[in-house]
A and B are shown apart, each in its own frame.
Chain A
Amino acid sequence: MSTPAPAVPAPGADTEGLQVAATEQARHSRLPGWFVILWRNGKCRIGLLMLGAFVLVALLAPLIAPYDPRGDDFPTSLAPTGGHWLGTTAQGEDVFSQLIVGARTSLIVGLAAGLLSTLIGLVIGLTAGYLQGWVDEVLSFLINLGLVVPALPLMVTLAAYAPVRGLWLIIAVISVTGWAYGARIKRSQIITLRTRDYITAARFAGDGTARIIAREIVPNMTSLIVVGFMGAALGAIGGEAGLAFLGLGDPQTVSWGTMLNQASLGGALLTGQWAWLIAPGLALSLLITSFTLINFGIDALSNPHLRED
């Protein structure tokens, strides 16, 4: 350029250079972009830190837990002491060790059942919404059935009459009863997305239905799917605790629900063992709180306007 350092460069050089820079930046920041948005929200940051702590505890449970959670060779019904921070159970197990190991169960159930019910909801909701017609009629009937059947009694019945016991049964029961709500939301979202011009354009480009759903539509509803997953995971953690508290859980696994169940059976209140009762309850509420706090940040993911405050 002949003019010395003009503020406005010649046409062509002007906007393009800037755009290339913007694209570069976007490419560098695309991966953690969602994380940055979550982290910036104060409530969400607290939630992430709390969840992170729980995950860490669950991963390192064998290292952190001072004793075997099933080992019952301690004095029974001890109040909190230096050796047993939260006391011992009526069977003589260490409550603190059970609490640490129990985090594993809750997180596994939350993750697995959350994923499973999100997946069921995604497949059924997207197929119904995209194909419409009689397929939609049939699937919508299923979704509505899933919505009206009261989940808790169904869960209790399924868990009580199942021929096997175990963690995976609980996960299956929770997934089967919990997918309908997410399916409903995803169906209505895809009904608005499927009429967009870019979907018609993809059909004109020769793409098939499965590819259009997976590559054109799903990326546009990521935040909805994540919110759905968080909700489902939350429900699953609560559901597992509920079933276990009612004595329908797997007696072989240590979870916060079975702890509450045994505390109640073992008469923790009568013997004055507050820690035995409160510790799993508190851990459960804190985990659920962390999910709720994270959801505040996920709102900002789906709605850019919320990112500004």
Chain B
Amino acid sequence: MTLLQVENLSVTYTPRDLPANRAVHDVTFDIDEGEFVGLLGESGCGKSTLGNAVLRLLSPPARISGGRVVFDGVDVTTASEDELRALRWTDLSTVFQSSMNSLNPVIRVQAQFADTFAAHRIPGDVTARATELLELVSLDRHVLRAYPHELSGGMKQRVALALALALRPKLVVLDEPTTGLDVVVQRSILTRLAELRRELGFAVLFISHDLGTVLEMADRVMVMYGGEIVENRTAAGMLHEPRHPYTRGLLGSYADPRLPDVQVTYIPGRPPDLSRPHRGCLFTPRCPHAEDACREVHPELLPERGGLVRCLVAQEDRLPVVRLGAADAAATIGSHFPATGALTDPGGTPDVVAEAVLSVDQVSKRYTTRRGLRTSTTDAVRDVSFTLHPGRVTALVGQSGSGKSTIARLVTGVERPSSGEVRFEGGSGPTVRVDRLRGRALVDYRRHVQMVFQDPFSALNPTRTVAYALSRPLVNFAGLRGTAIRERSAQLLESVGLAPAGQFLDKLPHQLSGGQRQRVVTARALAPDPQVLIADEPISMLDVSIRAEILELLGELVRNRRLAMLYITHDLLSARLLADEVLVLNQGVLVERGPTRDVIGAARDDYTRLLLDSIPNPFAPAKRSGDASVVRSAQPGG
């Protein structure tokens, strides 16, 4: 039975200072009772707007400009606020994109449940009901007494999920529920979600940019591009026979890192600007199969091979045939994407390893915290040793809280180790003891060691132009003055693939896409001509479809400029593609290390295997359908 009907829905943003932008255009779909539907697309394609429109939570300047949403017989688009209030949360609930921040920081978890019950006049014992709900999401009852800041990101997300399920809704809208969590926590939350749905039978609209997750979880998947649904078919169908070139491109971002040959692809270019009128297919500028007709005729969403697809070439059955096996699917799609850049793993035998430029020798870091009257100590890093070499990438892998970022701070001299030595041997002078640097010497050291940050949206000052950001290291380290600064900045931008540089120098960060910002951040790190580059999760905040692009850039820079790179990540697929050597860090201790292919291809440590099993991989179920239960049993509690 149909639970949610969306008919010809359009949403338009009409800001005062900018041209109107139709974020969602003529979208029609149904969700049946108990159905798990995935909604996929890159950022800026309108998927969150669509999710909010279904709940009628849009706020100006966004408004529903056409069509209607019918939920369980009620027209949500015209219902009064009173009718909506009765509907929301009781039958139709949501977990927001930033639901980690949607918990009120000043009240305990129990009070948040009490609020929900009180608002909907549910009688009975709050503690008993809340405990039961927390058990649903595998959380201990002690969590009820906690304030949100005392919980980890994963735990907060579970609380948000428990709150969303509190009134047994018929439909839950999940908007990127696991974005920002590390792979292991993501895996355990998704596993629990799948089990809960089987037990409770609610329908889900799951919004994500991560095709891997969606294909694993969903019954049916809708792919959105430029505010339109471009493909809508069952998850199995989409996996084995993706019909829209965009879907094929998205699928190319996945591969099993354990395979002997790993290849991923990306889709060059950016989503269309929806404030301008477009003729023809919106995907044409990025499409490898585009024909003349695609530029003229806007395709309709028509039934095709058991699903719906919005592509002229596919509808006329002229798409190149793709043989889609389970294992080599990514490679196959990649080879049919002539316009995309493909990234293969470095592989090969390592050439002669040069002298180490940076050595970390038996380093430990202990934090002492005062809690009430007692002091407690935490060993963030214990007895870690490794070396970095020119022209080689060393990946430091582990989930959040494993001490990866602490090591980055120790290596860059932001913090000092409790014991052990960090030595920099790449300078012209004598060996530098990084753990003893201060003041001016520390500034000088950073001429040689630079960082690429995790979040390109916060690593660039929103009020400063690209030219200013690049000029600072050039002035401070290279001693450039006057017009030389601008010339060198332009060269740097071109070296990270932002050409022609003149177009980017005077832009403010908000005028750039996430991928472009990360390139600017990289260019700034390269400005002092460093010998060591620390990249702290440089792709985790980016869309899956452009991650490979940044990885490719980093790989090229390392090999062309003979940089020594420490690549910090929780994602073993990216480590496999980029790194020569992998160090696996678990709770501050190195548990496994060695050449990338050995560590990932034949992981010996349980923790490494857990990280590997947590990677979302749409091709995995087909290949090893039997060991899903193994993955589940390997989850750490909480």
Contacts and interface: CB of A to CB of B under 8 A. Distances in A.
A202 B470 CA distance: 10
A201 B521 contact: yes
Nearest to A207: B472
B61 A216 contact: no
Nearest to A40: B16
B464 A219 contact: yes
A18 B513 CA distance: 14
Interface string A1-37: 0010011111100111011101100110000000000
Contact of B472 (A11, A205, A220, A309): A205
Contacts of B282: 8
A19 B511 contact: yes
Interface stretch (A86-94, A180-188, A192-200): A192-200
Contact of A206 (B16, B414, B446): B446
A308 interface: yes
Given A198-B459, A201-B521, A7 B453 contact: no
Interface in B499-553: 503, 506-508, 511, 521, 524-525, 527-528
Contacts of A26: 508, 511
B269 A11 contact: yes
Contact of A207 (B450, B460, B476, B506): B476
A204 interface: yes
B103 to A, nearest CB: 19
A202 B471 CA distance: 11
B507 to A, nearest CB: 6
B16 A10 contact: no
B60 A308 contact: yes
Nearest to A20: B503
Secondary structure of the A contact surface, majority rule: helix
Contacts of B559: none
A9 B453 contact: no
Contacts of B16: 40, 307-308
Contacts of B268: 11
B194 interface: no
A209 to B, nearest CB: 11
Contact of A216 (B285, B454, B464): B464
Contacts of A11: 268-269, 285-286
Given A6-B280, A11-B286, A206-B472, A308 B507 contact: no
Contacts of B61: 308
Interface stretch (B271-279, B302-310, B601-609): B271-279
Name the residue among A9, A18, A198, A308 with the largest chain B CB count within 10 angstroms.
A198
Interface residues of B, number: 55
A204 B17 CA distance: 36
B428 interface: no
A196 B280 CA distance: 42
A244 B282 CA distance: 70
Interface string A209-225: 00000011001100000
Contacts of A215: 464
Contacts of A307: 16-17
B453 A206 contact: no
B463 interface: yes
Contact of B278 (A3, A7, A27, A220): A7
Given A3-B292, A19-B507, A19-B511, A205 B476 contact: yes
A8 B506 contact: no
A215 B475 CA distance: 15
Contacts of B286: 11
A303 to B, nearest CB: 13
B60 A206 contact: no
A193 to B, nearest CB: 10
A201 B524 contact: yes
Contacts of A20: 503
B267 to A, nearest CB: 11
Contacts of B528: 205-206
B461 A6 contact: no
B248 to A, nearest CB: 17
Contacts of A204: 412, 446, 450-451, 473, 525
Given A8-B284, A19-B507, A207-B476, A308 B15 contact: yes
A69 B378 CA distance: 74
Contact of A205 (B285, B458, B527): B527
Contacts of B473: 204-206
A202 B472 contact: yes
A307 to B, nearest CB: 6
Given A7-B279, A23-B506, A200 B511 contact: no
A200 B454 CA distance: 12
Contacts of B524: 201, 205
Contacts of B511: 19, 22-23, 26
A198 B295 contact: no
A6 B296 contact: yes
Contacts of A202: 461, 472
Nearest to A201: B459
5 contacts: A8-B278, A198-B460, A200-B414, A215-B464, A220-B461
Which 3 pairs across A and B sit closest by C-beta, in order of nearness? A7-B279, A206-B476, A219-B463
Given A18-B273, A19-B511, 19 more contacts: A7-B277, A7-B280, A8-B272, A8-B278, A8-B282, A9-B285, A14-B272, A15-B273, A20-B503, A27-B506, A40-B16, A201-B453, A202-B472, A205-B524, A206-B477, A216-B461, A216-B464, A219-B464, A307-B16
